[in-house]
């Protein structure tokens, strides 16, 4: 069995602020967050292998794709890192059996979602595919679905886990924190979440036959409500169709083109 683990930083154990995700001017909190990320990633790799996966590929998906502490990574997996990705899941193809999402966050506009956003935390208000409002879990699931692969596991905060179950049904989830507001949460120790992630991923791998790929048949109508007319003007110049002052739309023929 071959699995693909997609990662983000906002839903990692102990990550609560945008300073931790790379906006910190002196970078100290971000540097610490990289270690937290690497711990959650290693726990997922450990769980995948103990659950029966023979090959594990992990993508460093946050920002420019260079967040893992390389020398601390579990040697049993391989890792896709670096900027200039061709799409959000480089290297993913039909040869994989499952996709797992580690450190994900709730879609833009989710109350109590830690660092909630959809792609851009400053310019996107809402994102829809064929009228279905979704966030990054939905986007990743559609891309996995393009290759006929199910998403079987999600870790993040409680709101993220609820969003995943709402979209994908009874998949395995691990909530590493529970948000009260966008930046304040009840968190668990990374020592505890390491165990929970390992066990949750192993359970998901063992239950792989229970899960179905998330597929919406093309054509796919992508609609984005943007923060303001300035941003919408920019999208219009990039050949999106302008629907109203701050809404743009395009129709694509493949889930690989939804972003
Ligand atoms: Zn991110």
- Check whether 94 is labelled as a binding-site residue: no
**189 inside domain:** yes
Write the pLDDT tens digit of every residue in 214-258. Answer: 999 999 999 999 999 999 999 999 989 999 999 999 999 999 999
Q: What pLDDT, on a 0 to 100 scale, did the predictor assign at position 21?
A: 96
Residue with tokens 């002196």: 26
Q: Which of 68, 99, 102, 88 is CA-nearest to residue 4?
A: 99
- Whether 198 contacts 76, CB under 8 Å: no
Ligand 1 centroid to Cα of residue 68, in Å, is 13
Ligand 1 centroid to Cα of residue 62, in Å, is 4
Tokens standing for residue 15: 């990550």
Query: What total of structural domains would you count in the chain?
Result: 1
Ligand 1 centroid to Cα of residue 24, in Å, is 14
Query: In 10 A of CB 142, how many CB atoms?
Result: 23
Residue with tokens 């480089």: 90
Q: Kindly state the average pLDDT of the residues 90-98.
A: 97
**44 inside domain:** yes
* 3-state SS, residue 6: strand
Write the pLDDT tens digit of every residue in 2-36. Answer: 999 999 999 999 999 999 999 877 799 999 999 99
**119 inside domain:** yes
> The domain spanning residue 8 has which CATH number?
3.40.50.10780
**254 inside domain:** no
Please give the helix or strand (H or E) that residue 160 lies within, else none: helix 158-168
Computed over every residue of the chain, the mean pLDDT equals: 97
Q: What pLDDT, on a 0 to 100 scale, did the predictor assign at position 87?
A: 86
Write the pLDDT tens digit of every residue in 70-84. Answer: 999 999 999 999 998
Q: What pLDDT, on a 0 to 100 scale, did the predictor assign at position 23?
A: 82
Greatest alpha-carbon pair distance for the chain in Å reads 52
- Check whether 105 is labelled as a binding-site residue: yes
Q: What pLDDT, on a 0 to 100 scale, did the predictor assign at position 86?
A: 85
All residues at 6 or more sequence positions from 28 whose CB lies less than 8 Å from its CB, including other chains = none
Q: What pLDDT, on a 0 to 100 scale, did the predictor assign at position 24?
A: 75
**239 inside domain:** no
Catalytic-residue membership of 117? yes
Q: What pLDDT, on a 0 to 100 scale, did the predictor assign at position 95?
A: 98
Cis peptide before 169, with omega less than 30 degrees from 0?
no
- pLDDT of 101 > 90? The answer is yes
Q: What pLDDT, on a 0 to 100 scale, did the predictor assign at position 13?
A: 98
CA angle 236, 219, 117 (to 5 degrees): 55
**228 inside domain:** no
**256 inside domain:** no
Q: What pLDDT, on a 0 to 100 scale, did the predictor assign at position 160?
A: 98
- Check whether 136 is labelled as a binding-site residue: yes
Q: Which of 117, 194, 198, 246 is catalytic?
A: 117
Write the pLDDT tens digit of every residue in 133-188. Answer: 999 999 999 999 999 999 999 999 999 999 999 999 999 999 999 999 999 999 99
DSSP of 226-256, one letter per residue?
ESSHHHHHHHHHTTPEEEETTEEEEEESSGG
**174 inside domain:** yes
- pLDDT of 132 > 80? The answer is yes
Ligand 1 centroid to Cα of residue 183, in Å, is 15
For the chain, give the percent of residues with pLDDT over 70: 100
- Check whether 8 is labelled as a binding-site residue: yes
Q: Kindly state the average pLDDT of the residues 94-109.
A: 98
Domain extent at residue 38:
2-215
């Amino acid at each position: 069995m071959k699995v693909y683990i997609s990662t983000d930083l906002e839903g990692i154990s102990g990550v609560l602020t945008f300073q931790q995700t790379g906006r910190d001017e002196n970078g100290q909190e971000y540097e610490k967050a990289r270690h937290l990320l690497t711990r959650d990633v290693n726990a997922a790799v450990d769980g995948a292998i103990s659950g029966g996966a023979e090959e594990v590929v992990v993508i460093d998906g946050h920002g420019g794709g260079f967040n893992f502490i390389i020398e601390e990574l579990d040697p049993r997996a391989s890792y896709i890192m670096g900027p200039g990705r061709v799409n959000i899941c480089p290297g993913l193809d039909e040869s994989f059996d499952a996709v797992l999402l580690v450190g994900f966050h709730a879609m833009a506009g989710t109350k109590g979602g830690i660092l909630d956003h959809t792609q851009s935390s400053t310019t996107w208000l809402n994102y829809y595919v064929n009228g279905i409002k979704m966030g990054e879990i939905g986007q990743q699931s559609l891309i996995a679905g393009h290759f006929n692969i199910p998403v079987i596991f999600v870790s993040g905060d409680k709101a993220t886990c609820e969003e995943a179950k709402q979209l994908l049904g009874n998949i395995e989830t691990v909530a590493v924190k529970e948000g009260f507001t966008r930046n304040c949460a009840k968190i668990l120790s990374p020592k505890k979440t390491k165990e929970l992630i390992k066990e949750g991923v192993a359970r998901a791998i063992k239950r792989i036959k229970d899960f179905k790929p998330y597929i919406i048949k093309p054509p796919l109508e992508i609609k984005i409500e943007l923060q303001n007319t300035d941003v919408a003007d920019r999208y219009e110049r990039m050949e999106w169709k302008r629907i109203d002052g701050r809404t743009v739309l395009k129709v694509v023929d493949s889930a690989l083109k939804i972003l």
